[in-house]
Amino acid sequence: MVDKKLGGAGLRGQSAGETALCTVGKTGSGLTYRGYDIKDLAANAQFEEVAYLLLYGKLPTQAELDAYKVRLKGMRKLPDALKVVLEQIPADAHPMDVMRTGCSMLGNLETEATDFSDQLDHIDRMLATFPGIVNYWYNFSHNGIRVETETDADSIAEQFLWTLHNKKPEPLHVDVMHASLVLYAEHEFNASTFAGRVCASTLSDIHSVVTGAIGTLRGPLHGGANEAAMDMIQNWKTADEAEEAMLGMLARKEKIMGFGHAVYRESDPRNAIIKEWSKKLSEQVGDTHLYAVSERCEAVMWREKKLFCNADFFHASAYNFMGIPTKLFTPIFVCSRVSGWTAHAMEQRANNRIIRPSADYTGPESLDFVAIEDRA
Ligand SMILES: CC(=O)SCCNC(=O)CCNC(=O)[C@H](O)C(C)(C)COP(=O)(O)OP(=O)(O)OC[C@H]1O[C@@H](n2cnc3c(N)ncnc32)[C@H](O)[C@@H]1OP(=O)(O)O
Ligand SMILES: O=C([O-])CC(=O)C(=O)O
């Protein structure tokens, strides 16, 4: 078991508020959304059911789910002014920067009411438009295509793949995307959600909450780890080559992306689920090495450091097998986590006090003021 350093830097192990949305690592490795185990949700629920659970407080009935999906489907059109902005962003921009700009621009065009009475309309609109935003930019900047975002896709999972590849995706890939979006939807006071809650606590608007959260998720120590893991494993053609390279990285004390966690001590329960999907996809595409390389990385990290794969590691190979470009990996996380971020914003707003902790001062004391002409 990994010995976690609690306290000290990074507010590790300290409670920074209350939530009814999620528990992380309560038994060392468990994860629940509003009391439901992630294993049950990932195996049985579509992403829209989970988004509904987080945002509307309960699992939907069939009629409620059908109506919710119709509502989201009707909200997919991108405003022309947003498309104009997306078309200005160069092909070599990072798609997370595109998401951040896209979200912010949407907030300029469709600003939330200051009394938050329309918060759920804006939240559902973000859920509905985010896959189209990133893929409209991607297809325009890379392929010169203005992709249609008002597709016939039945779900957000299908909508992401459809707007990326500009065609109806195959059912297995849609199933994997549902599971992936369910796994990424919510995770208590992780860095991006906490950033969003701090923003919400100032009574700022929902697009500012999400824009700040996107910027926070972007880093390789957080959501960016799925891309970083892919960049790493794609260098290796055999499991033995991967093992040798990893041992070198560990000897040089390099961080290995997709491993370790700030809260879990034994395992990340999302890993086994996405790993299973990655295996299935690997068989489907006739992969000869990427899954084997990934499995060896997992074994080496456990053997050498007792570090386990977090949610991001096997997402890398799974997304790769579905033909998703590596730099679009973290934006998929955004398309999902926007449900958790905004559920937290609503929870914060419902019982708000501005989040403003204290700091331990470590600078100099009682200095004499020096006139500008006398300063060295
Ligand atoms: C969806 C998500 O956001 S999941 C997280 C995605 N991020 C990554 O995969 C990035 C790689 N992982 C990491 O950087 C870290 O494990 C974090 C940021 C996730 C957690 O950080 P912390 O809580 O500070 O890590 P923790 O306290 O468990 O670290 C214990 C020791 O293991 C080391 N360690 C932790 N993760 C790794 C890793 N991936 N590779 C190598 N060493 C590691 C730490 O450096 C630390 O060593 P030290 O005591 O010599 O300094
Ligand atoms: O909880 C964390 O620190 C990071 C994480 O796994 C997530 O946000 O999904």
Ligand 1 surroundings by CB, under 6 angstroms: 2, 4-5, 12, 221-223, 225, 255-262, 307, 310-312
pLDDT for position 216: 98
| 3-state SS class at 92 | coil
> Whole-model pTM?
0.96
C-alpha separations of 269 from 68, 249, 376 in Å:
28, 26, 57
Ligand 2 contact via 262 beta carbon (within 6 Å): yes
Beta strands in 249-315 (DSSP E): none
The mean pLDDT of the chain is 96
Any ligand 2 atom below 6 A from CB of 218: no
26 — pLDDT class (breaks 50, 70, 90)? confident
Q: 116: phi > 0 → left, psi -120 to 50 → alpha, else beta; which?
A: left
Q: Is 27 a residue whose pLDDT tops 90?
A: no
Give yes or no for residue 190 CB within 6 A of ligand 2.
yes
CA 225 to ligand 1 center in whole angstroms: 11
The verdict on the CB of residue 217 being under 6 Å from ligand 2 is no
Confidence band for 9, pLDDT divided at 50, 70 and 90:
confident
The pLDDT confidence band at residue 7, using thresholds 50, 70 and 90, is: low
Instruction: Please give the structure tokens belonging to residue 346.
Output: 């609503």
Ligand 1 pocket test, candidate residues 22, 182, 302, 310, most atoms within 8 A of CB: 310
Asked if residue 191 has pLDDT above 90, the reply is yes
Digit-coded pLDDT (tens) for 114-127: 999 999 999 999 99
Q: Give 157 Cα–ligand 2 centroid separation in angstroms.
A: 21
Contacts 24+ apart (CB under 8 A), 353-360: 353/201, 354/201, 354/202, 355/16, 355/17, 355/197, 355/198, 355/201, 357/16
Given this model, what pLDDT does residue 3 score?
A: 59
Among the bound ligands, name the one nearest to the CA of residue 259. Answer: 1
Pick the residue whose CA is nearest to atom 17 on ligand 1.
261
pLDDT at 2: 53
- Alpha-carbon distance of 334 to 160, in angstroms, equals 12
Instruction: Answer yes or no: is pLDDT of 28 > 90.
Output: no
Among 8-12, 218-222, 277-281, name the most confident range.
Answer: 277-281
311 lines ligand 2 (CB under 6 A): yes
User: Ligand nearest 193 Cα, by number?
Assistant: 2
Percentage of the chain with pLDDT > 70? 98
Structure confidence by residue, pLDDT tens digits, 70-93 = 999 999 999 999 999 999 999 999
Cβ 105 under 6 angstroms from ligand 2: no
In order of 220, 263, 295, 341, the CA distances from 187 in angstroms are: 17, 10, 25, 9
Cα 270 to chain centroid, rounded = 13
Q: Tell me the average pLDDT across 55-67.
A: 98
Confidence check on the interface: ipTM exceeds 0.90, yes or no? yes
Confidence of residue 323 (pLDDT cuts 50, 70, 90): very high
The pLDDT-based confidence of 317 (bands split at 50, 70, 90) is: very high
270 lines ligand 2 (CB under 6 A): no
- Centre of ligand 1 to C-alpha 116, Å, is 37
Q: Give distance in angstroms: CA of 342 to centre of ligand 1.
A: 27
What are the catalytic residues?
A: 222, 261, 312
Q: Which atom of ligand 1 is nearest to the CA of 12?
A: 23
Q: What is the position in ligand 2's atom list of the atom closest to the CA of 193?
A: 8
Pocket residue to mutate for ligand 1, from 259, 267, 297, most atoms within 8 A of Cβ: 259
Report how far residue 146's alpha carbon sits from residue 163's, in angstroms, rounded to the nearest whole number.
10
Q: Which residue from 261, 332, 334 has its CB within 8 A of the most atoms of ligand 2, so it is best to mutate?
A: 261
Residue nearest to atom 42 of ligand 1 (CA): 255
